[in-house]
Amino acid sequence: MSGKSLFEKVWDEHIVVPETDDAPAVLYIDLHLIHEVTTPQAFALLKDQQLSVRRPDLTLATMDHSTPTVPVTTLKDLEVVAEAPAAAQIRAMIDNCEHFGIELYGFGSEYRGIVHVIGPELGATQPGKTIVCGDSHTSTHGAFGALAFGIGSTEAAHVLVTQCLLQRKPKIMAVTIDGALQTGVSAKDVILALIGQIGVEGGVGHVIEYLGNPLAGLNMEQRMTICNMTIEGGARAGMMAPDAITLEYLAGRPQAPAGADWDAAVERWRKLPSDPDARFDREVSLDASRLEPMITFGTNPGMVIPVTQPVPTDTGDPSFRKALDYMQVEAGKPILGKAIDIVFIGSCTNSRMTDLRQAAEMIKGHKVADSVRMLVVPGSQSIKAEAEAEGLDEIFISAGAEWRESGCSMCLGMNGDVVGRGQLAVSTSNRNFEGRQGVGARTVLASPATAVASAISGTIADPRELNRH
């Protein structure tokens, strides 16, 4: 009998009722993350059927998607700066959390922020947990060795009432990353390259476990970037085994175990990595040493190339041609040097201190090009405070960038931060679909380093060139 993978160990530990040919497994959920966009329908179901939330203490609530990134401290402020639908979602979130006895990290909380940023910050995200949220980028939390995935609003209602979820067991894909990252290449480039290699449907039906020596050299924030975008390769979730770096990150956080409970937790967590003889349904390798800074050129994250390479040749695929027409790029021509309008640094992919420190270091002493608007949006109020304590906000503002309150911001055009019709944005977020950042907006996904270099240049730029000057 072969050993177990990380995924299998977590899955098996949480089975309440095993899967059969006729029915999915009933899986226990350790942590339910909620925000204002996907919960109104779930709470409405509970109210209609006069049901209560089974474990409010295992439900972590924040406001992020619709929340303006200009200062808001009261609902009265909200009415002034937010559009009516966004304001309604936020009011409903406040009312529902109060009604069902769920603690909400709202406008007055120092911990408010993007749900996939504050879960780890608080220490609520932990190895071996099952974590769900009405948001596909829940895969972020897999960087800690958790099984974390997005769910729909009806499933969210199910979890609120039962603390369980019906799930079919997915297959397991091992992605082994080999080789050392070169200067100017980041975790964001790694995951973009992988999605380009396997395609946006390459991981469908699978949970991906990331393996390989380079992972040991990444901090938790960089690991979260990789797991965050696993969903863009079609996978259900992404996972990395916990190690000393994981433990160092979690120790002392508000919701992490302490004292004897910490010791017991560490003992459990150290048993989670995949056994040497664990078997995987599919195995993929990626040579990180050959990677360059990556950038998307089309309308899904799999349409990605090294920033120095030309847009691929048109194969005659109508959807490929449609994407190039929308993005206003030409097959066979370079994307490097293309004029841009917006730079966005933020989102649950790249809004943490590692990202902000790197961006500040690169832009210090430079100016944002006159033709470019640059937004820098920290992932949480805690990150905002830490960045300001280090003077990062002053560096960004001096360079001509806008420094904002925390939130999802320009990742999606629903909170006032939008890219105008026809404008081209270099974004550190995770999706470049048509209209994702605003009606008619054009998006290229890139790392914070590439975003900063482009902001200074006023065109899509290679961050290694900035480093050389």
- Domains 6-167 and 306-468 fall in the same CATH topology: yes
Res 73: pLDDT: 73
Res 468: pLDDT: 65
Res 376: pLDDT: 98
Do 164 and 155 touch, CB atoms closer than 8 A?
no
Q: Which CATH number fits domain 306-468: 3.30.465.10, 3.30.499.10, 3.30.300.30, 3.40.50.2020?
A: 3.30.499.10
In one letter, which amino acid is 276? P
Res 431: pLDDT: 97
Res 1: pLDDT: 66
Yes or no: is domain 6-167 CATH 3.40.50.300? Answer: no
Chain centroid offset of residue 21 CA: 34
DSSP 198-259: H-TTTTTTEEEEEESGGGGGS-HHHHHHHHHGGGGGT-SEEE----HHHHHHHTT-TTS--T
Do 150 and 133 touch, CB atoms closer than 8 A?
yes
Q: Is the dihedral of CA 445, 447, 453, 456 positive or negative?
A: positive
Cα–Cα–Cα angle for 236, 242, 245, nearest 5°? 125
The CA-atom distances, in angstroms, between 307 and each of 45, 153, 231, 299, 331 are 47, 38, 23, 16, 14
Beta bridge partners of 209: 174, 239
Instruction: Please give the Cα distance from 89 to 38 (Å, whole number).
Output: 9
Do 67 and 110 touch, CB atoms closer than 8 A?
no
Do 93 and 61 touch, CB atoms closer than 8 A?
yes
Res 467: pLDDT: 64
pLDDT in tens, the chain (469 residues): 689 999 999 999 999 999 999 999 999 999 999 999 999 999 999 999 999 999 999 999 999 998 888 888 777 777 767 788 888 899 999 999 999 999 999 988 999 999 999 999 999 999 999 999 999 999 999 999 999 999 999 999 999 999 999 999 999 999 999 999 999 999 999 999 999 999 999 999 999 999 998 899 999 999 999 999 999 999 999 999 999 999 999 999 999 999 999 999 999 999 999 999 999 999 999 999 999 999 999 999 999 999 999 999 988 899 999 999 999 999 999 999 999 999 999 999 999 999 999 999 999 999 999 999 999 999 999 999 999 999 999 999 999 999 999 999 999 988 889 999 999 999 999 999 999 999 999 999 999 999 999 999 999 999 999 866 5
Expressed in percent and rounded to 5, the helix, strand and coil fractions of the chain are: 40, 15, 45
Q: Which residues contact 260 (CB under 8 A, 6 or more apart)?
A: none
Is the pTM higher than 0.85? The answer reads: yes
Res 85: pLDDT: 84
Instruction: Please give the Cα distance from 52 to 100 (Å, whole number).
Output: 7
At 256 the three-state DSSP class reads coil
First to last CA, the chain: 57
Q: What are phi and psi of 125, to 5 degrees?
A: -75, 120
Beta-strand relationship, 164-167 and 147-150: unpaired
Give the other-Cβ count within 10 Å of 292's Cβ: 17
CATH fold group of domain 171-255+265-290: Aconitase; Domain 2 (3.40.1060)
Residue 364 is given by DSSP the state: T
Res 258: pLDDT: 98
In one letter, which amino acid is 360? A
Res 164: pLDDT: 98
Instruction: Please give the Cα distance from 430 to 427 (Å, whole number).
Output: 8
Q: What ranges do the domains of the chain cover? A: 6-167, 171-255+265-290, 306-468
Cα–Cα–Cα angle for 423, 308, 182, nearest 5°? 115
Cα–Cα–Cα angle for 460, 464, 469, nearest 5°? 100
